[in-house]
Structure formats: C-alpha cells, structure tokens
Structure 1
C-alpha cells in the first residue's frame, strides 16, 4: 500500500469522535504495542515496512462505523473478531480481498 492510503486511514480515524485502537506488525515480525493515538504515533517512522495494521474496535457501533470508513477508502484487508486487518504487503500466493 502507498503512503496516501495510510494517511487516509490515519486522517479518517483522527476525525472519529471515539477512534479505535490499533497495532502494527512490520515485515520483520516486530509488533507494536496496542495504541490509540493516531495523530503522531501511527505515522512515526513512516509506512514503508508495515506488513499489516490491526484496527481494534471496542463496540458494535464503532465496528460498524470503522468498517464503513474502511470500505469508502477501499483497502486491502479483512474483518477479524476484534476489528479489521489492513494489509500493507500481501504474499504472491494468496488472494487479497478489499474492504
């Protein structure tokens, strides 16, 4: 995914009244701690090596709203039990669905 799409996610989450939590897994396997600060923390270090982003929702209403936002942005990802997973990179063997 490119920087424009990552920034679209960041700006959309900032604009929410109650933004969801997030966690990033990088290509090298490093996982960040769960965080809720989208303005500075999310963009720290850039987006180049993000394998995937887990967006963690905490209510049915928030889950529905985040899902609607992610579908508008049209991102490669999937719905999970705890929210959504957005892919920065996908392997060449799998099918990638878009939200």
Structure 2
C-alpha cells in the first residue's frame, strides 16, 4: 500500500478494498529507472499522457500529462505498470527514450506499457541501445 501524500493542500491516501493477489509478480524496475523515465518524458517536446495501475489493486489512475511533479507523487513502489499514450508524431521520440533507458515494456492499445512488476518476464520487450 502506498504512503499518504499531500497535493494542493489535500492529504491523499488509498483506502480502497479492491485487493488483487500480487504475490506472483516480480519487480523489474527500481526508483532510479522510474526517475529516468520521468525525466525522459518530461524532456520531450510533446505532451505525453500517462496512467498507472496500482500493484495488488484494480485501481488505474486517470490519464495525466504532468511528468515533472504528478508522476512521482506517492512514490514508485506500488506501480504495477505505467501506460504511455502518444500520437504518431511523438512515437519515435518515446520509443527512442525507452530504448536508451532499457525499460521493460510492451505495446498497448494506446502506445506502450512500462512495467514495474510482472509475472512472466519472457514476454517483455527491452530494447538495447
């Protein structure tokens, strides 16, 4: 469960009861890699929406475009995956950043999902520069 955090003067804390079994998942990211992703997406000249799924819960955040501040709120320990949505004109820049950072991802309906935890690492695509 994520730690409570404050944003715009409000205290936020997850209190839902939609628990999922996450005991079979293995971590494939760390705080450094999440920070590298955050910085890379923030540095792009395009608006790149993202949303996250919370580990062990059915909760998926709303789409957001603030990589600088919002993405790191609450920390990275309970991000099962982050989905990144991009238009064709930003695809090359996003995919180049993912390859440069060697992040675990797969294609999704909207763009790509970068995984923090996964059950089968054999299905992941990790581009190497």
Given the two structures, how large is their TM-score scaled by the length of structure 2? 0.71
Q: Which has the larger radius of gyration?
A: 2
Secondary structure at the aligned position of 1:42 is classed as helix
2:64 match: 35
2:76 match: 47
Moved over 6 A (4+): none
How many Å apart are 1:97 and its aligned residue?
2.5
CA RMSD of aligned residues (A): 1.2
2:108 match: 80
How many Å apart are 1:94 and its aligned residue?
5.0
Given the two structures, how large is their TM-score scaled by the length of structure 1? 0.90
1:5 to 22, 33, 45: 33
Tell whether 2:118 aligns with 1:90: yes
How many Å apart are 1:81 and its aligned residue?
3.4
For structure 2, list consecutive stretches of 5 or more residues without a partner in the other structure: 1-28
1:66 match: 94
For structure 1, list consecutive stretches of 5 or more residues without a partner in the other structure: none
